[in-house]
Amino acid sequence: MSSEYISRTSCRGCHGVCQVLVYHDGKGKISRITGDKESTASQGYICPKGAYATELVYHKDRITKPLLRQGVRGEGKWKSISWEEATDMIADRFTKIINESGPEYLAIAQGTGRPYMEFTTKFCNDLGSPNWLSPAHNCFVPRILCSLISIGWMPLPDIYNLGGEMPKCILMLGNNGFEIGAAGDYCGRMEEKAFDNAEKTIVLDPRKTRAARKSDIHMVPRPGSEISILLAMIHTIIKEKSYDEEFVENHCYGFEKLESHIQQYTPEWAEEKSHVEATKIIEAARAFSKTKPACIIWGNGIDMSVNAFQFARATYILMAICGTLDIPGGNVDFVPLGLKGDPPAFDYTKSGLRMVAGTDKNKLMGDFPFCPGAHPPSFWQACIDGKPYKPRGIWLVGTNPMLTATRGDIIQRALRDHLEFIVGSDFFITPSLAMADLVLPASHWLEQDCIGNDLGWAVHTRKPITKIGEVRDDRDVIREVARKMGLVDEFPWDSWEDYQSWRTEPLGMSFEKFSQKDQHYSPMKFKKYKKEGFRTKSGKVELYSTIMEDCGVSPLPDYTEPPVSPISTPDIYKNYPFYFISGCKSLEFFHSEGQNLKSQRKLNPDPLVEMNPDDASQLGLKDGQWIKVSTPWGSQKFRLKKTDRMPKEIVHAQHARWYPEKEGPDFGAFESNVNLLFPHDFYDPLNGAESLKSFLCRVDAF
Ligand SMILES: Nc1nc2c(c(=O)[nH]1)N[C@H]1C(S)=C(S)[C@@H](COP(=O)(O)OP(=O)(O)OC[C@H]3O[C@@H](n4cnc5c(=O)[nH]c(N)nc54)[C@H](O)[C@@H]3O)O[C@H]1N2
Ligand SMILES: Nc1nc2c(c(=O)[nH]1)N[C@H]1C(S)=C(S)[C@@H](COP(=O)(O)OP(=O)(O)OC[C@H]3O[C@@H](n4cnc5c(=O)[nH]c(N)nc54)[C@H](O)[C@@H]3O)O[C@H]1N2
Ligand code: SF4
Ligand SMILES: [Mo]
């Protein structure tokens, strides 16, 4: 007789690293999934996405076999084919495009950071195509690239007591990990624990999130203006000499230049820009510079504006002058465990400016010196108008850009009418995949057998708990296609197992042995710079960026007014009187994923707009009614949620909402799609970020 048993594995339903217990009923089914109290990284936490993961895995609409389009694009007629046929076809068609036109005519588009990332950029590099697409220009990567040129490594908050000291001060900049489960590879519950433990907490967020409510100092910025607050904090800390003189003297480059540049950015100036009182900014500056150790946790709230890259610069300057880098309880550098295939330590002084190497600048879409790959809006536009050239093929690996990127209407046209060959890998036929020629069934984290090194200091193993149909790990499929295209030296592994064992070689153990343990730790080392310096051109933390100077852009951070605002566009403001932020994440969904799952959808059934109750009442709008949110570029419908989480004059709309229950190929992708409200006109000149959290809108009854 079979009986219940438990497997341990690591969830990847989002960027979190929650370790979970999977209960098997003993008859071949998973009965439930819970958090794992013994996990150091997540300490028992689980969110609805993790707990209801089986609803996704066993869903009736799941793609279970490779599907080849029959009829015209979007007709929804498919024929199942074998993996052999599918991978042959991709290799043939891709090779033909490369031979006839060149590798840049082929693009690899991925979604947010997921396991496939191990191979998506590599495949693109090995093919020689600069056209790697992702949401990264708007998300996280501006912070990574900026840290690499400023510090040489990515400083992450040390909230796990890895050096025997927890942060005493936490500054949160546009991050809502507490309410959404996890952000930036950190379990939100762990962030919250550290926050609760700290003596001083400061939150910069227009919304009254749980972190904001708990904080000692909550600054509510005028959306898009928050860089002014950081500049004024730096101003105050330098003026009051509360910076770390020893660190600045010995380990920073360009302090004098910063000191004279920052004079102009007084707290009073910042108050005028941000509407946060000067006294509050000074209080925050004093708390952050004097309560040690201090760390910064930051998020998407600061990634999506024309100031995104310089905001990241200002953040690193603040960390550096306050001496928070690479100390216990500060912002630290995790030493990798030493597996093969880990991304190499990036050295900008040698490798130039791109995530995608082998880049021919003239062939890259979009002209932004710090954009991590192709600039997606520029790429999609080029598919239609052929300027500077017309891409021919694309592989969409785990991305639904018609919902998650701006101007899904342009993207649909590019896919439906222009690109010659489209492959898509996903769990479901989404509005974007409905346009594909060939669809591949991707394996879910409950089906993957791999090493999950998402967290830096801890590496988790992921066990194959179940398997539906012929689903396959995206990485294994890329491996096979690459080899069929002749990239055998680049992908020398005969099988998936081969690849995994190759990864664990340096540790002197087989993958099988490695994965018997659920979690492996890297040793922590602090203050490494004392011996090694920093991996920048000057060998120091660059307060003044020599690379930016070489690029001919401002080496010190400045303020830019959002492109659509009462000040920049008073004419628009007359008719669009609300500040507009979009796409703050929802606990129940992962962007566009999860809306077809009953238990998760029940928790968040309709696309929502959050609005201050007084603002809504003044417009005569009732809680729960359908409304229209409009910008000069479009109008979409949402359900109104009156809430005092929103300050007056600021409106928030959820992103990536569609209606999987409606008919294809659109599945309601053009009804409540916030990304149809933004134009392709305004970008951060440095990295191409879009103004998704600093815009203007109006709200009317539907
Ligand atoms: N207006 C506005 N828009 C935004 C944002 C915002 O704040 N405001 N946020 C942006 C951000 S931060 C991001 S990162 C992007 C996200 O953009 P995307 O990554 O495109 O969004 P997802 O909806 O997560 O899309 C991914 C698809 O991948 C599938 N999938 C999930 N896991 C796997 C897997 O392992 N393999 C494969 N092959 N498929 C998988 C899902 O079923 C889903 O259909 O959206 C951005 N869009
Ligand atoms: N449940 C769930 N978890 C997720 C995701 C998901 O879709 N669902 N997506 C994952 C991904 S890809 C990412 S990138 C992370 C993102 O997670 P976070 O980094 O937390 O990003 P957001 O939720 O977009 O926004 C964070 C906060 O920024 C604030 N904000 C908005 N506009 C501004 C502004 O102008 N200035 C400032 N200072 N703050 C502002 C918002 O009010 C919000 O509370 O979450 C990851 N985790
Ligand atoms: S927060 Fe993310 S990693 Fe944790 S259980 Fe939820 S989906 Fe999984
Ligand atoms: Mo993201």
The ligand whose atoms approach the alpha carbon of 584 most closely is 2
pLDDT above 90 for 672: yes
Q: Which of 61, 112, 144, 443 to mutate to test the pocket of ligand 1 (most atoms within 8 A of CB)?
A: 112
Q: Which of 171, 180, 305 to mutate to test the pocket of ligand 2 (most atoms within 8 A of CB)?
A: 180
Sheet bearing 458-462, strands edge to edge:
450-452, 458-462, 519-521
Encode burial over 418-454: b for 16+ CB neighbours within 10 A, e otherwise.
Answer: bbebbbbbbbbbbbbbbbbbbbbbbbbbbbbbbbbbb
The ligand whose atoms approach the alpha carbon of 108 most closely is 1
Higher pLDDT, 250 or 552: 250
CA neighbor of 637 nearest in space, from 647, 625, 650: 625
Instruction: Say which residue the tokens 């800390």 belong to.
Output: 237
**pTM to 2 decimal places:** 0.97
Q: Tell me how far CA of residue 407 lies from CA of 133, 373, 380, 413, 432, in angstroms.
A: 15, 19, 9, 10, 12
Amino acid at 350: K
Encode burial over 96-127: b for 16+ CB neighbours within 10 A, e otherwise.
Answer: ebbeebebbbbbbbbbbbbbbbbbbbbbbbbb
HEC profile of 300-363: HHHCCCCCHHHHHHHHHHHHHHCCCECCCCCEECCCCCCCCCCCCCCCHHHHCCCCCCCCCHHH
- What proportion of the chain, given as a percentage, has pLDDT over 90? 86
CB 326 within 8 A of CB 527: yes
Q: Could you tell me the distance, in angstroms and rounded to a whole number, from the CA of residue 602 to the centre of ligand 2?
A: 22
Dihedrals φ, ψ of 356, to 5°? -95, 110
CB of 404 sitting under 6 A from ligand 1: yes
Q: Could you tell me the distance, in angstroms and rounded to a whole number, from the CA of residue 642 to the centre of ligand 2?
A: 20
CB of 455 sitting under 6 A from ligand 3: no
The ligand whose atoms approach the alpha carbon of 301 most closely is 2
Q: Could you tell me the distance, in angstroms and rounded to a whole number, from the CA of residue 186 to the centre of ligand 2?
A: 13
Q: Residues 264-276: pLDDT tens digits?
A: 999 999 999 999 9
The ligand whose atoms approach the alpha carbon of 175 most closely is 2
The ligand whose atoms approach the alpha carbon of 210 most closely is 2
Ligand 2 pocket (Cβ < 6 Å) reads 14-15, 112, 139-140, 173-177, 180-183, 204-207, 209, 221, 223-224, 226, 299-302, 581, 583-587, 589-591, 693-694
Lowest mean pLDDT among 369-378, 415-424, 652-661: 369-378
State mean pLDDT over 36-41: 92
pLDDT above 50 for 358: no
Output the pLDDT for position 372.
Answer: 81
Q: Could you tell me the distance, in angstroms and rounded to a whole number, from the CA of residue 139 to the centre of ligand 1?
A: 11
CB of 184 sitting under 6 A from ligand 3: no
CB of 35 sitting under 6 A from ligand 3: no
User: Whose alpha carbon is nearest atom 24 of ligand 2?
Assistant: 584
User: Whose alpha carbon is nearest atom 1 of ligand 2?
Assistant: 587
Q: Could you tell me the distance, in angstroms and rounded to a whole number, from the CA of residue 29 to the centre of ligand 3?
A: 21
* DSSP-assigned beta bridge partners for residue 397: 110, 425
Predicted confidence band of residue 370 (pLDDT cuts 50, 70, 90): confident
Q: Average pLDDT over the chain, rounded to whole?
A: 94
Output the pLDDT for position 141.
Answer: 81
CA neighbor of 124 nearest in space, from 108, 100, 113, 101: 108
User: Whose alpha carbon is nearest atom 19 of ligand 1?
Assistant: 111
Q: How far apart are CA 68 and CA 85, in angstroms?
A: 10
Q: Residues 255-301: pLDDT tens digits?
A: 999 999 999 999 999 999 999 999 999 999 999 999 999 999 999 99
Predicted confidence band of residue 348 (pLDDT cuts 50, 70, 90): low
User: Whose alpha carbon is nearest atom 46 of ligand 2?
Assistant: 183
Q: Residues 305-336: pLDDT tens digits?
A: 999 999 999 999 999 999 999 999 999 998 88
Which range, 141-145, 450-454, 503-507, has the best average confidence (pLDDT)? 503-507
Q: Could you tell me the distance, in angstroms and rounded to a whole number, from the CA of residue 188 to the centre of ligand 3?
A: 9
Predicted confidence band of residue 344 (pLDDT cuts 50, 70, 90): low
Q: Residues 524-583: pLDDT tens digits?
A: 899 999 999 999 989 999 999 999 998 899 999 999 999 999 999 999 999 999 999 999
CB of 15 sitting under 6 A from ligand 1: no
* DSSP secondary structure of 113-152: S-TTHHHHHHHHHHHT---EE-GGGGSSHHHHHHHHHHTS
Predicted confidence band of residue 357 (pLDDT cuts 50, 70, 90): very low
Output the pLDDT for position 399.
Answer: 98
User: Whose alpha carbon is nearest atom 26 of ligand 2?
Assistant: 175
CB of 205 sitting under 6 A from ligand 1: no
CB of 103 sitting under 6 A from ligand 1: no
Output the pLDDT for position 335.
Answer: 81
User: Whose alpha carbon is nearest atom 6 of ligand 3?
Assistant: 47
User: Whose alpha carbon is nearest atom 3 of ligand 3?
Assistant: 16
Element (H, E) at 34: strand 30-35
Q: Calculate the CA 662 to chain-centre distance.
A: 28
